[in-house]
Copies of this chain bind each other. A is one copy, B any other.
Amino acid sequence: MPALITNYSSQPEYSSYELRQKIRRGEIKGSTSGLARTMQANLIVLPSRYAKDFRNLCLRNPVPCPLLEYTSRGDYTSRLALDSDLRTDIPAYNVFKDGKLLRRKADIMDEWTDDHVGFLIGCSYSFETALKEAGLEPMCSKKNMAVPMYVTNIPLNSAGVFSGYYVVSMRSYKQCDIPRVREITGQYIKQHGEPIAWGWDGAEKIGVKRKIEMGLVDFGDFVDIPDDEVPVFWGCGVTPQVAVQESRLKGLVMSHLPGSMFVTDLDPDDESFLL
């Protein structure tokens, strides 16, 4: 049994178990940022014939796609969360058919078949508590918004049928705080670890500077960058959703809606229960 966090000193008000129950009943919608102190995770659900290639995609791209767990064929429970159901315990889902986004849904009871395999991938929301405790809480977390996410020009290491580009999450910091931000988040190896780029030069290098200047996002919510701060970018577990589309994957694929995560029972500071 993984380490279950049940006692919070202050916020957030729910245990991870209670939070999943409320999400399952449809009482919580939108971003899960800050709603739990436990490890959060990205979900991608694939026909079993793609499972081997997808596992290799994760092994070859551990920064955007750190693999936390995968289920048996047809199994929709996660061993990282008590009494969980991956079909209902996320606020909103994306459904893709033949590589195209088909619709958004509140659950995927009708879509998940005996042939589907669920993959959980680390999420940068997991280290936001540590940043907060260091006095470095990102603006999106303060405002309870989804983190801004961008598709970059950095190619994934392809694996079988899968290819694509890194997706990154963005938080802004003062230049002088970046060494501490790198050090703190670098401890979370299976939750994207340290940033992959920072500063306006970094934004230009990975091909997202213009989008930020125009106030755009590819996923999540746009969050303004104060004049004395610069953008900092982490690998993001939305990467597989873009890979599914880039790779024009045949069949029915499901995922979480970017920003609305699966909340596990694990302590983000203890990665020893993970793959």
Partner-B contacts on A (CB < 8 A): 56, 59-60, 62-63, 154-155, 157-160, 186, 189, 193-197, 205-206, 235
A235 pairs with B196, CB closer than 8 A: no
Smallest CB-CB separation from A197: which chain B residue? Answer: B155
Contact at A63–B194, with CB atoms within 8 Å?
Answer: no
Q: Which residue of B lies closest to A160 (CB)?
A: B186
Assess whether B60 is in contact with A158, with CB atoms less than 8 Å apart. Answer: no
Q: Are A157 and B56 in contact (CB under 8 A)?
A: no
Of the A-B pairs whose beta carbons lie under 8 Å apart in the complex, a sample of 8, sorted by A's number, is A56-B193, A60-B63, A154-B155, A155-B196, A155-B197, A157-B193, A160-B186, A160-B194
What distance in Å separates the Cβ of A222 from its nearest Cβ neighbour in chain B?
Answer: 25
Q: Which residues of B are found within 8 Å of A195, using beta-carbon distances? A: 158
Task: Note all chain B residues with C-beta closer than 8 A to A59.
Answer: 62, 189
Which residues of the partner chain B approach A155 to less than 8 Å between Cβ atoms?
154, 196-197, 205-206
A250 to B213, CA, bound (A): 37
Q: Chain B contacts of A205 at CB under 8 A?
A: 155
Residues in chain B near residue A197, CB distance under 8 A? 155
**Given known A-B contacts A56-B186, A186-B56, A158 and B194 have beta carbons under 8 A apart:** yes
Task: Give the residues in chain B near A63, CB-CB below 8 Å.
Answer: 60, 157
State the Cβ distance, A133 to closest chain B Cβ, in Å: 22
Smallest CB separation, A183 vs chain B (Å): 9
Tell me the bound Cα distance from A117 to B131 in angstroms. 33
Which B residues are in CB contact (< 8 Å) with A62? 59-60, 62
| Closest beta carbon of chain B to A112's beta carbon, Å | 29
User: Does the CB pair B154–A193 fall under 8 Å?
Assistant: no
| 10 pairs of A and B residues whose beta carbons are closest in the complex | A63-B157, A60-B63, A157-B196, A154-B155, A60-B193, A62-B62, A60-B62, A158-B196, A59-B62, A154-B154
- In the complex, what distance in Å separates the CA atom of A63 from the CA atom of B58? 11
Given A158-B195, A159-B193, A159-B194, 15 extra CB contacts under 8 A: A56-B189, A56-B193, A59-B189, A60-B62, A60-B63, A62-B62, A154-B155, A155-B197, A155-B205, A157-B193, A157-B235, A158-B194, A158-B196, A160-B186, A160-B194
- Return chain B residues, CB-CB under 8 Å to A196: 155, 157-158
Taking CB as reference atom, which chain B residue is nearest A156?
B196
CB distance from A181 to the nearest CB of B (A): 13
Contact residues in B for A189 (Cβ distance below 8 Å): 56, 59
Distance between Cα atoms of A193 and B61 in the complex (Å): 12
A186 to B56, CA, bound (A): 9
Cα(A195)–Cα(B154), bound, Å = 16
- Across the interface, name the chain B residue whose C-beta is closest to A235: B157
